């Protein structure tokens, strides 16, 4: 009887061990993913268009993969002024302000993009035609009546005149003026000795000596695009634009005798020599081709 009780107790104990939660058989978790879940990224908000009448923010137009500014534009750097940009680009600073839509030419910002070439003409817009150059005067032997024949017709012939009435007198032509490759005729702007030659890296022009008050002459025909003292290092300065390619600069004057937008002729007195922003009396003279300084000795006649 006791043996049966012992066997029964052992069977109950074994059954209880099999059903205990401590020895649960492993089960496979089927709800877990073995690879990452792709999360949908919301699309980036599109750039909002400017409100009607509002201009787009200024950006530097890329010219190539290097991100350089597009041809015909200039990116303002620290210390720039519109006058200097005009000198460096060979343009009238007023034209640059107009092409770039500047309301205040004195309020330039670093990184601002300016247009330094004329914008393309709008479709249907009138295109200004270049002014035909005046015919060359051809000197001929004396006519039978003793008058010098000019342009194929004797001077003093009825119905003609040597110069129009009321026209300004022609400035004296210097000895041996030199004609440039584009038809400009150049002369020396002052009679003094050359104190310093051309050096593109430093002087960018010629230093011509003289006495305070000596005349400074326009080296070629052109139009004054700047007359003032707003460019550091140049003192009282005159800049003359001769055509789409060349301009000339006359610095360190003690007095300026011309104003902006005034037409000047070769040999016309435009300033008086001085020492403004310089350590001695001198004329600093530059010729620039498309804004780049070139050696004036290449254009001026031999003395």
Q: Which of 115, 146, 167 is the last residue of a domain?
A: 115
Q: Give the range of the structural domain holding residue 187, as residue numbers without chain letter.
A: 178-298
The answer to whether residue 13 is domain-embedded is: no
Instruction: For residue 8, give both structure tokens.
Output: 């029964």
Query: pLDDT tens for residues 228-282?
Result: 999 999 999 999 999 999 999 999 999 999 999 999 999 999 999 999 999 999 9
Token representation of residue 175? 């000895």
Q: Is the dihedral of CA 181, 187, 189, 194 positive or negative?
A: positive
Q: Is 26 exposed, middle or buried (0-12, 13-18, 19+ CB in 10 A)?
A: exposed
Structure pTM? 0.60
Percent of the chain with pLDDT strictly greater than 70:
57
> Is there a single domain that holds both residue 182 and residue 292?
yes
Closest CA to 265 of 132, 155, 170: 170
Residue 259 contacts by C-beta under 8 Å, 6 or more apart in sequence?
224, 227
Last residue of one domain, picked from the residues 96, 115, 134: 115
CATH of the domain at 103: 3.10.350.10
Binned at pLDDT 50, 70 and 90, residue 134 comes out as very low
Which pLDDT score is estimated for 151?
34
Final residue belonging to a domain, choices 63, 84, 115: 115
Same domain, 200 and 290: yes
Half-sphere exposure (Cβ direction) of 100: Cα atoms closer than 13 Å = 30
pLDDT above 60 (res 60): no
Same domain, 87 and 192: no
Task: Judge if 204 and 101 occupy the same domain.
Answer: no
Q: What is the CATH number of the domain that holds 236?
A: 2.70.70.10
- One domain, residues 103 and 185: no
Number of domains making up the chain: 2
């Amino acid at each position: 009887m006791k043996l049966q009780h012992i066997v029964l107790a052992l069977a109950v104990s074994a059954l209880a061990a099999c059903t205990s939660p401590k020895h649960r058989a492993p089960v496979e978790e089927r709800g877990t993913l073995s690879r990452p879940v792709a999360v949908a990224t919301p699309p980036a908000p599109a750039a909002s268009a400017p409100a009607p009448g509002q201009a787009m923010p200024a950006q530097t137009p890329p010219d190539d993969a290097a991100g350089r500014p597009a041809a015909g534009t200039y990116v303002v750097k620290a210390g720039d002024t519109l006058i200097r940009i005009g000198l460096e680009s060979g343009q009238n600073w007023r034209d640059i302000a107009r092409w770039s839509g500047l309301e205040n030419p004195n309020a330039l910002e670093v990184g601002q993009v300016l247009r330094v070439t004329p914008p393309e003409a709008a479709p249907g817009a009138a295109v200004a035609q270049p002014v035909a150059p005046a015919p060359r005067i051809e000197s001929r032997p004396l006519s039978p009546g003793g008058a010098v024949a000019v342009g194929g017709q004797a001077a003093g012939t009825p119905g003609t005149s040597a110069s129009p009435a009321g026209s300004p007198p022609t400035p004296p032509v210097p000895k041996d003026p030199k004609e440039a490759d584009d038809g400009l005729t150049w002369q020396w702007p002052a009679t003094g000795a050359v104190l310093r030659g051309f050096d593109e890296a430093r002087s960018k022009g010629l230093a011509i000596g003289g006495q305070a008050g000596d005349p400074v002459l326009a080296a070629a025909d052109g139009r004054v695009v700047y007359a003032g003292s707003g460019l550091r290092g140049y003192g009282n300065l005159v800049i003359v634009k001769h055509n789409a390619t060349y301009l000339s600069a006359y610095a360190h004057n003690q007095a300026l005798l011309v104003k902006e937008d005034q037409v000047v002729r070769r040999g016309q007195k435009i300033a008086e020599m001085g020492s403004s922003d310089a350590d001695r009396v001198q004329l600093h003279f530059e010729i620039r081709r498309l804004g780049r300084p070139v050696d004036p000795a290449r254009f001026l006649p031999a003395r």
